[in-house]
A and B are shown apart, each in its own frame.
Chain A
Amino acid sequence: MAQIPESLQKVRFYQTGTLTVGNRLLDAEHRSVQATLDRSNSLDSGHRACQGCGEALGARFAIDAAMRATDNRLIAANATGCLEVFTTPYPETAWSVPWIHSLFGNAAAVGAGIAAAMKAKGRKDVRVIAQGGDGGTTDIGFGCLSGMFDRNDDVLYICYNNEAYMNTGVQRSSATPGAARTATTMPVGKDPGNAFNTGKSVPLIAMAHLIPYVATASVHDLHDLEHKVTKAMGVRGSRYIEIFVPCPLGWGSKPSDTVKIARLAVECGLFPLIEAEHGEITGVTKIRSKTPVADYLKLQRRFAHVLKPDNAHQLEQLQAIADRNISRFNLVDDQGGQE
């Protein structure tokens, strides 16, 4: 069930196996899109994202892979949010793909409209991506998204999940984890930070729509991410990918730790990497070496209070969520580790 294709497994001992972005010892076809000299750099330099922005990184990873998969015939619709604001302060843009911004909550609908227009024009070759932040996806854009799924519009929707409304100053969203500090969930009282709500998961909700393809990915595992985007672009109908993108500003982390934090989120079990087709889970990316959630939390100021003795119950709750993910999605190999 591993994500990496069989052919790649053979070279796993090649110094760094398939874990690095590239590897001079791999044949060209097994290298990541990001390793190539001619990657499209669809999100180019000069954008105004913060230092070490996971969203900027995830967007280039994903859109470059989609560009490669569609032979550069791609249109992107973008919800309001950091990804829109830092890339495109009128009239400048950092995008080198045809790109449109309309509103905060309607990216899925705009994408669906473009797909319909392309169909009407007989342009089967041109493919459509709609993208937005977690706020624009799980909260305000949720209705449009569900509608797009329901109609099975030929759009890949990518949600860049940084677990809050970052662009307007770090307000909580329904993707904000329990205990996290945001501007609207301050760490005060006996249950500081965000409330532990029911644990809404848009990937699982997307699966419930029985759409052809749903996946989660993370900026720390590029091969897995590119594999999923490429796979999604090979499928018609509605597809959904959620990418875990740490935000140094909103999370209070070091810009240089962005990839490390994403790695720890996955390795501790809080952000499971899964793949599903037509409502059924078809693959999980195994945890390579299981880590305690505390290792993940301690790099982020938004969780600083969780590690204080007074709030041990919050740490337990977060560990319980991770453990539940691990057993629910069978994230740890019985043989121990992926290799």
Chain B
Amino acid sequence: MKTPFAITLDVGSSLLNKTGSWRTERPQYLDRLPPCNHACPAGENIQQWLYLTEEGRYEEAWRQIMDDNPFPAVMGRVCYHPCETSCNRGQLDEAVGINAVERFLGDQALINEWRMEAGTSTGKRVMVLGAGPGGLAAAYHLRRMGHEVTVFEASPQAGGMLRYGIPKYRMPREKLRAEVARIEQMGVALQLDTRIDDVLAARDEGAFDAVFLAIGAQLPKRVDIKGNGEPPVLDAVTVLRNTELEQTTGLRGQVVVYGGGNTAMDVGRSAVRLGAKKVTVVVFEAREHMPAHEFEVTEAREEGVTLICLRAIREVHGDTVTLEKMVPGEGRWPQPTGQFENLSADVVVQALGQNVDTALVDALTGVRTAEGVVQVGADMQTGCAGVFAGGDMIPSQRTVTTAIGHGKKAARNIDAYLRNGAYQAPEKHEVVNFDMLNTWYYSDAPRTVRPMLNVMRRQSGFAEIVGNIDQEAATFEARRCMSCGNCFECDNCYGVCPDNSITKLGPGLRFKFKYDYCKGCGLCVSECPCGAIKMIPEDI
């Protein structure tokens, strides 16, 4: 080619110069495990469903939850949300209101009647004992995998403690009923009012190939209290169950509840609603060591429940309850002082926790119990082949999500068992902690406050106390999510590369490095807000 005057070479492009050879480390995209997902006992992919919610893709978001947890509307109400406790945004301003968004999505599904389908039939049959959250979750997942499932439930209604424990003001029954009905619509058979006492006989009679036990912990723990039977000493499990069944609870006049956990709060708050004149919760532990969640204590007090901490009930006689003052001892365990005081009462309720009725498994050879609960292997199987167990009856945190997580895990293992294989859990990604984020990029956004019913109405009935957040608030709250460890297509890496070494692949497709040119400066890693890029050494 003829070049202009004094020019001897044609113009060349710098693209001929492959600066990738300078590199000693290479950036790589990865998905890290957000702490919320990591903390969720049901293993929900929270970051992903928030991501979909941000864009208004509510049904997809809901289906993402449903992959792990069949009870979004329930969980959005009763879950103690360990996800929020571990949310990275909590270190920036306040945790994302994950639970409120989950409830919003759960309710959307009920309004729009979104359904789930059963999987292609495998011809295998599974028997589930107990229609609590653990049993129902297992049944749901097994049904999605194509197995025939029958759930046997001793009570007249499904739900376990969701129905017979947690009061209506926290768990409205129509939501529970609707989420259970959706599982039934998938073809899960529910046999109510059917108590099973001989597991193997029932299994053989129904020609089931595997069994999942999720009978919970139904037996009230009691301490012996001296007295003459007047005033009556009741237990929380029975009182709450009778409240649900709309039978006489015996709660009247001055009610004294003994216990410091969530159950004690629920009994006290139910008593307020049932018209008790005065409700006092006597707590053995010091205030700061009470097992009840802070919000439950606060709400109970707002409703007029009185709390007396560091007291042991020693005697119940006539209309008097005798309390011994305790002092904080070593660790959490309080010590007696020999000083007493009296409290007048018309009824006393013990709310000291529940035990598992292990009689059911006594007849099963190979099943081991320890400390009152049934032992299972990593695959959720008991010592009796083909009999799996989960929920409150095995070592557990005894929460609804934990039971649901057990149900899911058991379903996967039962499925593998029915296919004569072993379930191989996928490897977990590394957890993203706060210092892997570049939080400069997140604008300040205070958490949405959930509306609460006013105290007068709370005291006078069982209406749900925590209100809904609307679509705008749910979207806003989802958008507060920092998308920890998972690219949300903010284009930062694509923008900050001084070498134009990143290709943007378009919406939903993320990005790709041009390793021919990337010099390995690491700017993309530093400026990725959510920690979705990592530098790894080159082999040189």
Q: Give chain A's interface residues, CB within 8 Å of chain B.
A: 12-25, 31-32, 34-35, 37, 41, 43-49, 51-54, 56-57, 60, 87, 90-94, 222, 248, 254-260, 263, 337, 339
Partner of B523, one of A24, A48, A256, A339: A256
Inter-chain contacts of A337 with B (CB < 8 A): 444
Q: Is residue B178 contacting chain A, with contact meaning CB distance below 8 A?
A: no
Partner of B527, one of A12, A92, A259: A259
Number of residues from B at the complex interface, CB < 8 A: 54
Interface string of B495-524 (1 = CB under 8 A from A): 111111100101100000010110111110
Inter-chain contacts of B519 with A (CB < 8 A): 51
Closest to B476 in A: A13
Closest to B517 in A: A45
Interface string of B1-18 (1 = CB under 8 A from A): 000000001111111111
Further pairs besides A44-B500, A57-B496, A257-B526: 16, Cβ < 8 Å? A12-B443, A13-B443, A15-B480, A15-B488, A16-B529, A20-B491, A21-B492, A45-B501, A48-B14, A57-B523, A90-B9, A91-B9, A91-B10, A222-B495, A259-B496, A339-B444
A-B contact pairs, 17 of them (CB 8 A): A16-B529, A19-B440, A19-B441, A19-B443, A20-B490, A21-B495, A22-B492, A46-B15, A46-B16, A46-B517, A47-B19, A54-B498, A57-B497, A60-B500, A93-B13, A222-B495, A259-B526
Instruction: Please provide the 10 A-B residue pairs with the shortest distance between their CB atoms, ordered closest to farther.
Output: A22-B491, A21-B495, A17-B443, A46-B14, A256-B522, A94-B14, A52-B521, A45-B517, A51-B521, A20-B490
B13 touches A44 (CB 8 A): yes
A91 touches B500 (CB 8 A): no
A25/B16 contact (C-beta < 8 A), A16-B442, A45-B499 known: no
B442 touches A45 (CB 8 A): no
Min CB gap A225→B, angstroms:
11
Closest to B10 in A: A91
B440 touches A263 (CB 8 A): yes
Main secondary structure of the interface of A (DSSP, over half): loop
Min CB gap B533→A, angstroms:
11
Inter-chain CA distance A12–B496, complex, in Å, is 21
A92 touches B440 (CB 8 A): no
Q: Is residue B251 contacting chain A, with contact meaning CB distance below 8 A?
A: no
Inter-chain CA distance A19–B521, complex, in Å, is 22
Q: Is residue B110 contacting chain A, with contact meaning CB distance below 8 A?
A: no
Q: Give chain B's interface residues, CB within 8 Å of chain A.
A: 9-19, 22, 54-55, 440-445, 476, 479-483, 488-492, 494-501, 504, 506-507, 514, 516-517, 519-523, 525-527, 529
A255 touches B492 (CB 8 A): no
B443 touches A16 (CB 8 A): yes
Inter-chain CA distance A263–B438, complex, in Å, is 12
Inter-chain contacts of B443 with A (CB < 8 A): 12-13, 15-19, 339
B492 touches A20 (CB 8 A): yes
Inter-chain contacts of B498 with A (CB < 8 A): 49, 52-54, 56-57, 60, 258
Partner of A21, one of B54, B442, B494, B500: B494
Inter-chain CA distance A17–B445, complex, in Å, is 10
Min CB gap A78→B, angstroms:
15
Closest to B506 in A: A37
Partner of B12, one of A47, A92, A248: A92
B491 touches A260 (CB 8 A): no
Closest to A20 in B: B490
A91 touches B11 (CB 8 A): yes
Min CB gap B396→A, angstroms:
36
B16 touches A13 (CB 8 A): no
Inter-chain contacts of A21 with B (CB < 8 A): 490-492, 494-496
Inter-chain contacts of B17 with A (CB < 8 A): 46-48, 92
